[in-house]
Structure formats: C-alpha cells, structure tokens
A and B are shown apart, each in its own frame.
Chain A
C-alpha cells in the first residue's frame, strides 16, 4: 500500500524525516534508507534551516531506487515560481508522488545568512499551485500534456499563538488541496491537545490526515536548545526535568518518544505520526519496534 492508499484507508500512518548529506556521494543516503524500511513515507528535507545539502529531489530518487516511498519537501525560500514548477515537473517525471509544501526557514539561520531570500510564493499559494498542476495547468495558463499526480501535504505549528491564526492557515491549506498535515514535534501534550480540540471543532481532521510530529532527543541540551533557539517550538518543563535527571539520556529520550507516540495514538483526530530523528536516523526502527508499529506494514 502506498501513502495515498493508506491515507484513504483507515490505517495508522507513520512517516519519518531524513536529511540528505552535505556531500556529492549517494552512499550515505542508501545507508540511511535501510533505517526507514518500516515507514510509509520518508520526508526528504529541502536544505533544512538554510544549510546547503544534496537536493531533496535527487535524494528522493535514490530512496525510490532503494524501495522507499519518498515525500519531498519543497520550500519557497530558494526558488521562484519558474524554478518550483520546473522542479516539480522533473520530480513527477522521476516517479515522485508526494510533496510537502513549506514556506521555509529564513536563511539567516543557515550557513549562508547573506543569501537573498526569495519567497515568491508562500506555502498556501504553493499548495494551490500544485493543485493546479495536478489539474493540468501551469501558472502561465499553459496546459500540461501529462498532469502531475501529487499527493499534497502541508505543515502546521500547533504551538504558536494566536491559535486563531494557526487554525485559519490550516483551513486555507486544506481548502487549497492539502491532504495530509504534519505538525511540529510535540513536547507539550496539553498545548497540542488544545490545538487538536480546535481542529476537531472545525472538522478539519476529516478533510486532511493529521500526522503529529515526534522527535526523539539524545540529551537535555538538545531540548533546551530547541526551546530557546528554534522558533515556534514549545517544550514542556516536565520533559526537560525528566531528561536532566535521567541516568542514560539516550534511553530516556527513546522512552519519552515512545510514550508520546502512545499518547498520540489515543488522541482522537490523529491519523498518524511523523518521526523526526534529527541526525539520529538509526533510532527509527528501535522506536517503531518499541511502540509496536514495526510490523504494521507487513501483509
């Protein structure tokens, strides 16, 4: 079953994120791909946080060869509408079927802070653009001989305030064609539940599948860094004290991720999870095994 079919059925969905390497070799991607055989979709990041890496479309192609189902992230940071459309046509021609549309982090956080940010479109307009391409037209009005067949996804931040603005943006994304929504990593369940409650009141969870972000962390430093430095993240103080007092922080991080997954599975309205093992891809199978999600994909 591919991701699209899983979304249409009632199955629990697991996607995971993979960062392409900062090199021209493909060996690393193939090695990393081995960790993701049990997930339904592998998100390939697009120069995340503005740090130059191998292109997400090329990495997705390699993952496809390794038998995974890639989801490419497309940001509006580096490309204008011409480049985005051309890249999307290219990706579709290479057999990539899933796309996650993002606005993208500002380049000042990356390794090229002096770069010119583009932001010709924003994520909502990008979703609308891909919907148009699925219907067979480019922005210029030109008809495509072969239309793309993308499954479109969007991102949501449940923690930023005001909540109204977040819900409104989510609504716009879904009404423009997003079929699945991935959230920021959840380290604050009460705040997340508050958001889910609002989403369910609006009935948005029936129109698009919500995949809650889960991030396993290795140390308390990673958590505090996330709380203080990464914009739009919220970390519950309990998580930090738990990590700080743990004897083996790595094990505690895994345990915390598994607990979060179990809590999220019980949350009504959540269709799946999105694992973000940042620079720690090898932990993915362990977490899936511990939360009894590993054998789910077998017939």
Chain B
C-alpha cells in the first residue's frame, strides 16, 4: 500500500463481522495501547513511524510534524506545562535511529476509521503495516 497517497476513499469496517471483530480487537488494543502509549484510537496507527509515541496526543492532532508554535524549551503552545509531542518524537526517533521514518508525508486522516481497530485495519489492508526495523546508517545527521 502506498503511504504517499494524499487520502483514502475507505468507508471503514462496515460488514457485520468486521464491525464485531473490530470491536473485540479495539477492546484488546485499548487495554494495551491506551495505558502504554496514550492511544487516542484514531484507527490509522502511526506509532511505528513516530518512535512509539502517539502523535495524536497533540492538541491539534497533527500527523506530519510539529506546528510552528513549539516553545523554545520544547513545550507545547497550547499547554505550556507539557512537552510538545512532536518534540519528544523527534528526540526519541533520533535516539532510536528511526528518524528516516519521519520523512514521509502522512496522508489526511480518514475519519471513517476513527474508533476502529488499527490492528484489524492493517490486517484488512486499510492502512500500511507498521515498520518494525529500520536499518541504521552510520553517516546520518
């Protein structure tokens, strides 16, 4: 599946068995992804591309990188007392050597996939599969 397409025309899980399965899997995801990553159940998971910090915790729900309002100390423009999510993502991506994954332009969020199971969506090829391993390159800034 092409990650670089701007949008998808997907109506989300509609058949009965799909919705039932999505519900069951979402419950499973909620038990794991919500406490561990603070998942917001967007259904188009980017976790593997954002160094395992959920980018949807950004108040603007940006999927492509930090907004222009990030403060000098890396705090969020909306909530000055907490770090900008994207600041943390960039820091950790660098630490884990996964910053090449941030290069792609993420497509526009499909709201029909909101509150569906991201794992099932990978399985039914609605969203691209996570990228687990990145080859580390030596000469990279």
Contacts and interface: CB of A to CB of B under 8 A. Distances in A.
Nearest to A125: B108
Interface string B56-84: 00011111111111111010011010000
Contact of A169 (B7, B66, B72, B87): B66
A119 B103 contact: no
Contact of B65 (A124, A159, A184, A231): A124
Interface in A100-133: 102-103, 105-106, 108, 117, 119-122, 124-125, 128-129, 132
Interface in B78-137: 78, 80, 86-87, 90-91, 94, 99, 102-103, 105-109, 111
A177 to B, nearest CB: 11
A55 B7 CA distance: 28
B1 interface: no
A134 interface: no
B138 interface: no
A165 interface: yes
Q: Classify the interface of chain B: helix, strand, loop or mixed.
A: loop
Contacts of B71: 160, 231-232
B87 A128 contact: no
Q: Which range contains the number of A residues in contact with the other chain?
A: 35 or more
B120 to A, nearest CB: 24
Interface string A144-186: 0000000000011101111011101101100110000000100
A94 B59 CA distance: 34
Contact of A165 (B59, B63, B65, B107): B65
- Residue among A102, A128, A139 with most chain B CB within 10 A: A128
Contacts of B65: 124, 165, 168-169, 172
Contacts of A159: 72
A141 interface: yes
A108 B64 contact: no
A122 B6 contact: no
A110 to B, nearest CB: 12
A164 B94 CA distance: 10
A106 B62 contact: no
A175 B91 contact: no
Contacts of A106: 59-60, 69, 77-78
Contact of A162 (B67, B90, B108): B90
B70 A160 contact: yes
A81 interface: yes
Contacts of A119: 60-62
Nearest to B102: A168
B9 interface: yes
B86 to A, nearest CB: 6
Contact of A128 (B80, B90, B105): B105
A81 B108 contact: yes
- Residue among B60, B67, B103, B105 with most chain A CB within 10 A: B67
Given A106-B59, A164-B90, A175-B105, A231 B77 contact: yes
6 closest A-B pairs by beta carbon, nearest first, are: A231-B77, A231-B69, A157-B68, A160-B70, A169-B65, A119-B60
28 contacts: A81-B108, A103-B60, A108-B78, A119-B60, A119-B62, A122-B63, A122-B67, A124-B64, A124-B105, A125-B106, A125-B107, A128-B105, A139-B6, A159-B72, A160-B71, A161-B70, A161-B74, A162-B74, A162-B87, A164-B99, A164-B141, A165-B87, A165-B90, A169-B64, A231-B69, A231-B70, A231-B77, A231-B80
Interface of B: 6-7, 9, 59-72, 74, 77-78, 80, 86-87, 90-91, 94, 99, 102-103, 105-109, 111, 141
Interface of A: 81, 102-103, 105-106, 108, 117, 119-122, 124-125, 128-129, 132, 139-141, 155-157, 159-162, 164-166, 168-169, 171-172, 175-176, 184, 231-232, 234
Given A128-B105, A162-B74, 8 more contacts: A103-B62, A120-B111, A125-B64, A161-B72, A162-B87, A165-B65, A172-B65, A231-B71
